Each structure stands twice: as C-alpha cells, then as structure tokens.
Structure 1
Amino acid sequence: MLSYLLGVLLFAVGIAITIGVHEAGHFTAARIFGMRVRRFFIGFGPTLVSFRRGHTDYGFKLVPVGGFCDIAGMTNQDEVTEEEKPFAMMNKPWWQRVIVLLGGIIVNLVVAFLIFYFIALSSGLPDPKASTVPTVGEVTCVAPYQVDAQTLADCQGTGPAGEAGVKTGDQIVSVDGQEVLSFTDLRDYVMQHAGQTIALEVVRDGEHLTIDVPVVSAKRLDQDGNEVTVGAIGVSNAPVEIKPVGAGKAFVVAGNYMNAMLDASVKGLASFPAKLPGVVASIFGAQRAEDSPMSVVGVSRVGGELVEHSMWASFFNLLASLNLFLAVFNIIPLPPLDGGHIAVVLYEKIRDFFRRLRGLPAAGPADYQKLMPVTVAVAALLLGVGAAVILADVVNPIRLFG
C-alpha cells in the first residue's frame, strides 16, 4: 500500500513537472525574443507561495492541474502600459509569436523523447519498425478440442509443423507463395485451410527452405463460446525480445517509438468524443472500458499501481505519453488552447497578405473580443468534460491489476 501511495504521489509530481516544463517553454521563448513575462505560475486557485524576480512574479497555486505564463500584450484585449509596449507580444513579428506559442508543445515533445531515450537505454523499448515476420517460438502438438476459454485438451507429439521439419527459430516469410507479414496473417491463413497441405517458406540460418505442412482440423471456441472447426499446425510465435540498446541505436528506437505513440495520441484524441458517453455511464455503475479516457486522477492511480508492481519502465513510459498527449491536445486550433492562438496569428498573416495585394496597410492584431463566445464555450466544455472524467476516475477507476 505504501508503494502504491508513493507511486501516486510521484506521478502527481510528474504531472506538475510536465505542466511546469510546458509553461517554461512559453516563458523561455518569450524571454529570448524580448517579451515581458508578468507572471509564471504552476497550478490554479489560491496562491500558495510566490516571489518576484525582475519584472516577473513566480509561484505555485493550490490546484496543481495546470499553469499559466502571463505574457504582456498576448492579445489586443490585454492592456499594456507605455513601459510595456516595446516588450508586448502583439508588437513582435508574427513568427516570433508563433514560436512562443509553440514553445510549450516543443518542450513536451523533447521531454517525451528524452524519457523514451533513457528507457531504451536502461530497459528497452519495442521498436515499431522492427520486423514483424513470424519467428517460430515453439512447435507443439495440436489439441483436438478446447475445454473452455482458458484450457485446451491434452495432446502428444511435436505436431504437424514439427513432424514436417519446422524448427524453433525459423522465420516464416510466406505461405503458399503469399507473403506473411505477421503471425496473425499466418494464423488466419492456417485456420481457413483445415484438411489441406500448405507450403511454408522459412528462413533458417540465412537459407530459404520450403516445407510442406499438413493442416489438421481442431475444435475451438469462438468469442461467443460456440464450437467451430479450424485449421492448426502447432506453431507459436516467439515473443518479441525487448532489451536495452546502445546510445546510438537508442536514438533510432526512441524516435520510432515516439512516432508510433504520437500517432496513437492523435487517434486517441480523435476517438475521445465517442468514448465520452461510456465515461459518463461508468459514473453510474456501467463497466468502465479499459481504453477509457483518464484524468490526472486516473493516470496518477495507474502510476501508483505500476510502482506498486515495480514496473518503473512502464511508469516513465506513461509519463512520456502524457507529455505527448499534452502536446497534441494543445495544438488543437481552438481558443484558449495554444493552437487557437497560433491560428489567430496565422489568420492575421494571411489576412494582411491579401490586404497588401489590394494596396491596403496591415490591419493590426485580430480582435479577440469576437472570439470570446468561442473561447468561453470551449473552456466551459473542457471544464465539464474534465469534471466528468475525474468523477469517473474516483467512483469507477481503471485498474491494471484486479
């Protein structure tokens, strides 16, 4: 229990750091371009502690689930003093404003990559670009029928594949002349050819061999518990070995893995609206889906479970994934998110380009007052959704281990 609570606390600290480095990205970029940063705070609500350095107030607030970097003149609705005008964000070149707005997103991406890199060095990461060609892990007998969802009937011998000459370590590259890209491809093909003989092309010690294997019929249970007849040859796929790699290869593995996780984050964000009804239903007792969205409360609890089971690599992998999700989420082109502010800056640039073509001067900063209804609506939606997910994580949390 103590290790679980420690894990929850550590992950909560990791979330605060994630938010902190995001805001630090905005802060650093703003300072580089000579913009005035008035306040740099982690958290929301009442101030716990603060101090002033130069023109900036730094501090922590009570609720550590967010943060903000208050840059003078971020929009034309922001009143600036005469002294602040030369340092106001809206008076800086458009490209500098975009870089400042991207600063937090870039830092989160860098942090995620560094975490993945050190995981690759210390314990290893699966490489999404590694070959998925099935490698025989074991040749076995084929059970004639399935007792229940977890149990196969007893059988003897080495099975059809073993008797035909297939050996552990063989890479199966094709079946009946069709390329095999994964063990799933092989399994599906074999299941459909009961009572026939198939030709497996295998690579063994660099040599290509063709082995004819008879496919036997076996009774198995489908997802509904109904008995069906399928083909089987008695081979299992060798598990993918995940091990630490050297410093150079770790960059490649971490990069490949990060690209795959970014793609998963984008898809996860796109599927979020469809999963929200399930989250709400789980508050009232419905079963919570394993891939259900989680709040900072939920992921902290999962972090606690990972520490409780000494799964530190998974703990830091989850923290890196959180950084990726924060980066992807903030690029959405809706105010008050970073992507919404970037969209406004790009709108100003495109608008002024066409004005120049018409011989007109630049129109200046966009009127954010017109965006207030959208900003308020998006903020209210985020608050409402966030509250629902937090409530679901409290009353019906996702558990990794029972």
Structure 2
Amino acid sequence: MEVLIMAGQLILGLSILVGLHEWGHMFAAKMFGMRVEKYFIGFPPKIFSITKGETEYGIGAIPLGGFVKISGMIDESMDTATMNQEPQPWEFRSKPAWQRLIVMLGGIIVNVIVGIFIFIVIAYHEGDKFLSINEVNKYGIFAGDLGQELGLKTGDKIVKVNGKSVANFSDALSSDVFLGSNSSYTVNRNGQEIQIDIPNNFIEKLSARQSPEERGRFIRAQEPFTIGEVAADSPGEKAGLETGDKVISIAGKPINYFHELQNELAKLKGKTTPLIVQRGTEQKTLNVTISEEGTLGFYPQSLLNYTSVDYTLGQAIVVGTNDAFAVVFNNIKGFGKIFRGEVSASKALSGPIGIARMFGGVWDWGRFWYLTGLLSMVLAFMNALPIPALDGGHAVILSYEIISGRKPSDKFLENAQKVGMVLLLGLMAFAIFNDVWKAVF
C-alpha cells in the first residue's frame, strides 16, 4: 500500500506540474496566433482525447511527462515532413523570433509562478514554527550515526555555525552548511569549545537518507516529552497509557528524551515489557507489548518551547518567494559541487523512484504541496538548462537569432533536437537505473 501511495502522490504532483507547464506553452502560442495541434498530459499510448477547435486534448498512458505540438516547430515528434513545405502564417516558424522565445519560455514562467504561489500559500497558512538555538542548548543535541561520524556527540551545544552565532536551530541544518564549502560547527562540550569541520562531500551521505526519519539520524534536539494523543487500539492504549503520562523507564532503562525511548523500542519489537510512567503524583507500571514496527502508538508532546510565527499576506509573499527561489539557488549550488568533483552525480541525482520516496508512504497533504512546489521550481530550473530539446536550449538558439539577425537552418535545428533527445533519454535512463541501484544496494 505504501508503494501505491508514493506512486499516487508522484503521479498526481507531476501531472499537475507538467499539465501547467505545457499549458504555459500552449497559452503563449495561441496568444500569438499559432496553431496548437495537440496538448497531452502523459506520453503515448493514448488513453483518452477530445478535440476542441484546432487542438486535440488528451491523456497518455505514461504519466512522467507531457507535450504540446505546435504547428511548424521542430520538437520531440521530429515531424520533419511538414518542415519541408512552405511556411504558413499560423506556424511557429513564421512568427517573429521574440514571439517564439516567449512561447518557449511559457512553460518555465508558469512553473515559477506556480512554485512561488504554493510557497506563499504554505507560508500564509502554516506560518513558521521553530526551535531557538538557546532552547535546544538547554539539553543539547542528539547526535545520530551520521552526526557521530562527523565528530559530534549527544549533549553537545551548538554555539556557532560557520564561525557565526545563530539564533535558529534550523540554521545549523540549512543549505548554506551542506551545499557550501569548508563549513563547520562550533560546539560547547563539557564547557570546552570544539570546532567540528564538515567535509565538502558530506551532503552525499545526508541526501542518501531519503526519508525524514532517516535524515533525523544526523542531529536533532534532545526533547523531554510527555504522552500526547494515544491512538485507538494501539499497544499503548491496550496497556493503559494516557495522555499526560511521563515515561520514566522501559524494560528497566531510564528514559529522559524521546530519542531514548525510540532507541529502546527498536530493540524490543514484538516483546512485552514493563513501562513505568509518572501520572500525576504517582508512578504506575504498565505491561506493554511493543508493535512489530517498534512503536507504542502515541504522539509525543514536546516539553521544549517552540516559537510560532504567523505571517500577514504581505510577509507570506516575501517569505514564500524567498523559499521558492532558494530551491533554484540550492540546485545551482548542488550542480557546482558535482562539477567540482566534491560529490558524485550518482549519489546526488534522483529519478522518479527517489522522488516518490520523498513523498513517503503516508498521504500528507502538507508535505505533498510542499514537495509539489519544490518540484515546480526544480522543473523550471531543469527546463531552463541550455540543452537542445529543453526549453532552455530553444531559448539560447532563439536569443542568438534575435541578437545576430540570422536564423539557424531547419537542418541544424533538427540535428540539435536529435542530440538533445539522446542526452535527455540517457539522463533519464541513468536516473532510473541509479534509483534502482540505491534502493537495492
């Protein structure tokens, strides 16, 4: 079921984004009087289509893309027979270069607008909730296996990031740290300040952790907690666990923080063990049978003080726009690391399987829209790359035509399209194979 939920979220998200991307091309083309022959979400074979006016609208069986076919344009259909005929007034090739450039940029522009809009709505609706570094440093951090490998220890208190004091704990986990160069933490360990250097290729190891739970094995705040909502028919409810209880120990092991309970539960999967809790002024011993997944079935209520911020619409516009373009800047930084040889492409790039795993096996609308907004900006960025067959490749050629006043030959455009298609198919094959390799090995 989890696989179906992952696939369903990926297909829905991509269908929305690709549909809007191709609509951007179609809208601009029709605005300039070009004939749009086809508008499809998904690739052939065709599942369904309807013709309205001059355009056939349809859905393809392969839900990992889409296309519009504009008369008189050399595209992935490679319809060169039409190009050998005399240009017609409604064809792409008959229009001024500046109009053709706008058509080619139409999809990118729409994806940027959609991405910004989604991030603005998220900022306005959700606001922000974060932990201050001072609040985290009351108890220090929990260092998971990756954190320990880096040289951090549970209980460390972060005082500086890249040599600068920070106010927000999220600054310690920002892209500036992992996508920058020569990053470091300065921590207070037992009263002594120690600098922990972060290798330039550390993002490889971090990005290999696909789920939020896996990435949580790096560092997070040590959180004292009480029992929040207890799920119906869960091991916790059956044992008599109640909201407000404070866990004292499990199987004789003292518990102070939530990560400690998680670690012990993972060792006790499927076992029945005593759980001691503080309830009001008295302690109670509950005999609980841990689930096979290593859970009790409750939501923890953190005793740390989170700072909540609500944004006005004006503030949300600024925050959402910054968050959207941060995705693009992070992609540029990521490509820079690949080109400098600091990280390998095989570990940094993800295809459909990797993206589906990001959505997760539980349908969470908040995470769905966040990732859809992120993918919208990524789709815009990738399509803007100056590779033949991508919108960016077409834009470069059209910009050359506008500046030089010389139009490249149809033969050149045809060959450029072929080269671009080979590159894109090769990249797609690499991404899918890479996903399978990482999933298996």
TM over 0.5: yes
Change (3 A) 1:86 1:188: closer
Q: Is the 8 Å Cα contact of residues 186 and 196 (structure 2) preserved in structure 1?
A: no
Q: Is the 8 Å Cα contact of residues 14 and 65 (structure 2) preserved in structure 1?
A: no
Change (3 A) 1:140 1:39: closer
Q: Is the 8 Å Cα contact of residues 49 and 60 (structure 1) preserved in structure 2?
A: yes
Q: Equivalent residues in 2 for 1:155-194 (5 A)?
A: 180=165
| Structure 1 residue 54 corresponds to structure 2 residue 53 | yes
State the distance in 2 between where 1:223 and 1:270 align. Answer: 17
State the distance in 2 between where 1:223 and 1:29 align. Answer: 47
| Structure 1 residue 298 corresponds to structure 2 residue 298 | no
Aligned to 2:42: 43
Aligned to 1:321: 374
| Structure 1 residue 11 corresponds to structure 2 residue 7 | no
Q: Equivalent residues in 2 for 1:332-351 (5 A)?
A: 332-351=385-404
How far residue 218 of structure 1 moved from its aligned partner, in angstroms, is 8.2
Q: Equivalent residues in 2 for 1:55-204 (5 A)?
A: 55-75=54-74, 79=82, 85-124=88-127, 135=134, 137-139=136-138, 149=148, 180=165
State the distance in 2 between where 1:141 and 1:380 align. Answer: 52
Moved more, 239-248 or 116-125: 239-248
Which of 304, 310, 321 aligns to 1:255? It is 321
Which of 372, 390, 397 aligns to 2:432? It is 390
Change (3 A) 1:138 1:95: same
Change (3 A) 1:59 1:28: same
How far residue 277 of structure 1 moved from its aligned partner, in angstroms, is 5.6
Provide the aligned C-alpha RMSD in A: 4.4
SS at match of 2:385: coil
How far residue 5 of structure 1 moved from its aligned partner, in angstroms, is 2.5
Unaligned runs of 5+ in 1: 143-147, 154-160, 162-171, 195-214, 225-234, 280-288, 353-362
What TM-score, normalized by structure 2, do the two folds share?
0.59
State the distance in 2 between where 1:378 and 1:220 align. Answer: 47
SS at match of 1:62: strand
Change (3 A) 1:245 1:333: same
Query: Which structure: larger Rg?
Result: 1
Moved more, 369-378 or 45-54: 369-378
State the distance in 2 between where 1:114 and 1:398 align. Answer: 37
Amino acid at match of 2:371: L
Amino acid at match of 2:62: V
How far residue 37 of structure 1 moved from its aligned partner, in angstroms, is 0.7
State the distance in 1 between where 2:198 and 2:186 align. Answer: 19
Aligned to 2:410: 368
Matched positions, count: 311
State the distance in 2 between where 1:276 and 1:382 align. Answer: 21
How far residue 327 of structure 1 moved from its aligned partner, in angstroms, is 0.6
State the distance in 2 between where 1:141 and 1:33 align. Answer: 61
Aligned to 1:330: 383
Unaligned runs of 5+ in 2: 142-146, 178-183, 200-220, 223-303
Amino acid at match of 1:337: L
What TM-score, normalized by structure 1, do the two folds share?
0.64
Aligned to 1:380: 422
What is the percent sequence identity of the aligned residues?
31
Moved more, 11-20 or 239-248: 239-248
Moved more, 20-29 or 87-96: 87-96
Q: Is the 8 Å Cα contact of residues 105 and 391 (structure 2) preserved in structure 1?
A: yes
| 1:113-140, Cα deviation, whole Å (9 max, x unpaired) | 121112112223589xxxx996455546
